[in-house]
């Protein structure tokens, strides 16, 4: 395949960027000698900066440096100077397609969303509803005859990240020999969150039955949530909210014997690190944004009455999440942990 200069215009959220990694791998495998760059939101940079699949990450800070017309013009000029031949536009926005057009990229491939079909040289047929986002992105590759070899997403970390986590856990009293369960109780909107009292009860059960050490992970903004769970527990967890970078979080989840999380970016990072993972789903659809590809994961979803996905941010009863009982999650956790013959229940 003739070497080309390729730009991948990526999406804006951590989980979605992970969903794009099978696409990125497929492009690299097809264009093995090409120069491949990725246009990316700054909050997602860490998700891809260690990948061997890309030659360059170009930041598009649409809430900062590139908010104004002048900022966007500077970005467009930067892209023009790089002389890209092809742009694969994974983002659905009109603006992203316009930027690729004004940057003089001759071939522009993507979905005709936001009335932007006239900005694309090849449009990808919109799929039926319910297609997983991994497949949604891979369809852009298929549109130019590229069939992926794998659908598993990937996240690359370094030994320095693993060493950091080893020391962080050691400071919390957890050694390499301890059975470690990481819980991720956060979520970017409240209806996606399993009740904190349920996380507390489940954590105590895992401590009492398996002698597990519990680490509560999340962003700095989740510290109050983590402290609330700790206050409800009979045993003391290790709180690491706000203490890790995304790559260090990947190392923590890789180290875990089990990860229990809501539908969040960290849940998908856990799957990418091949950690045993339990994903708790309520208002979102696991068929669209659930764990995907290879891995040892289980989805627990109990909704029956509401239409899913549901984006009623004003919902107060949160029935779809409260329907998931502590006993439901513990039974799945017990089965997954007992698959490891080295793990024994406490008397």
pLDDT, tens digit only, all 347 positions of the chain: 466 999 999 999 888 999 999 999 999 999 999 999 999 999 999 999 999 999 999 999 988 899 999 999 999 999 999 999 999 999 999 999 999 999 999 999 999 999 999 999 999 999 987 899 999 999 999 999 999 989 999 999 999 999 999 999 999 999 999 999 999 999 877 889 999 999 999 999 999 999 999 999 999 999 999 999 999 999 999 999 999 999 999 999 999 999 999 999 999 999 999 999 999 999 999 999 999 999 999 999 987 677 788 877 777 778 889 999 999 999 999 999 998 745 655 54
Report domain extents, the chain. 5-142, 159-338
- In the prediction, which pLDDT does 183 show? 98
Q: Do domains 5-142 and 159-338 have the same CATH topology?
A: yes
> What pLDDT sits at residue 77?
97
**What pLDDT does 162 receive?**
97
What is the rounded CA–CA span in Å between residue 94 and residue 91? 9
Which option is the CATH number for 5-142: 3.60.15.10, 3.40.50.2000, 2.60.40.10, 3.30.70.20? 3.40.50.2000
- Fold of the domain built from segment(s) 159-338: Rossmann fold (3.40.50)
Would you state the pLDDT for residue 345? 56
pLDDT at 347: 41
């Amino acid at each position: 395949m003739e070497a080309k200069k390729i730009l991948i215009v990526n999406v804006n959220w951590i989980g979605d960027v992970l969903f794009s990694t099978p696409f990125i791998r497929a492009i690299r495998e097809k264009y093995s000698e090409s120069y491949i760059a990725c246009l990316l939101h700054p909050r997602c940079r860490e998700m891809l900066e260690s990948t061997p699949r890309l030659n360059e990450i170009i930041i598009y800070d649409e809430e900062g440096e590139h908010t104004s017309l002048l900022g966007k013009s500077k970005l467009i000029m930067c892209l023009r100077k790089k002389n890209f031949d092809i742009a694969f536009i994974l983002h659905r926005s009109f603006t992203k397609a316009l930027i690729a057009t004004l940057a003089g990229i001759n071939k522009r491939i993507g979905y005709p969303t936001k009335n932007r079909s006239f900005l694309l040289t090849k449009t990808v047929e919109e799929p039926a509803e319910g297609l997983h986002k991994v497949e949604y992105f891979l369809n852009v590759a298929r549109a130019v005859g590229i069939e992926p070899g794998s659908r598993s997403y990937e996240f690359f970390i370094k030994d320095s990240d693993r060493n950091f986590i080893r020391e962080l856990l050691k400071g919390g009293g957890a050694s390499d020999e301890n059975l470690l369960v990481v819980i991720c109780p956060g979520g970017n909107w409240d209806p996606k969150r399993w009740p904190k009292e349920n996380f507390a009860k489940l954590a105590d059960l895992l401590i009492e039955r398996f002698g597990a050490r519990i680490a509560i992970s999340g962003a700095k903004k989740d510290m109050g949530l983590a402290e609330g769970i700790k206050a409800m527990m009979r045993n003391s967890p290790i709180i690491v909210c706000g203490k890790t970078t995304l790559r260090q979080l990947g190392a923590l989840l890789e180290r875990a014997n089990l990860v229990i999380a809501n539908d969040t970016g960290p849940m998908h990072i856990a799957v990418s690190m091949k950690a045993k993972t339990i994903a708790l789903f309520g208002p979102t659809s696991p068929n669209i944004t659930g764990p995907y590809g290879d891995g040892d994961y289980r989805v627990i979803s109990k909704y029956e009455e509401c239409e899913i996905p549901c984006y009623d941010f004003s919902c107060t009863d949160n029935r779809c999440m409260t329907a998931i009982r502590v006993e439901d999650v513990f039974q799945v956790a017990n089965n997954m942990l007992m698959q490891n013959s080295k793990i024994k229940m406490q008397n």
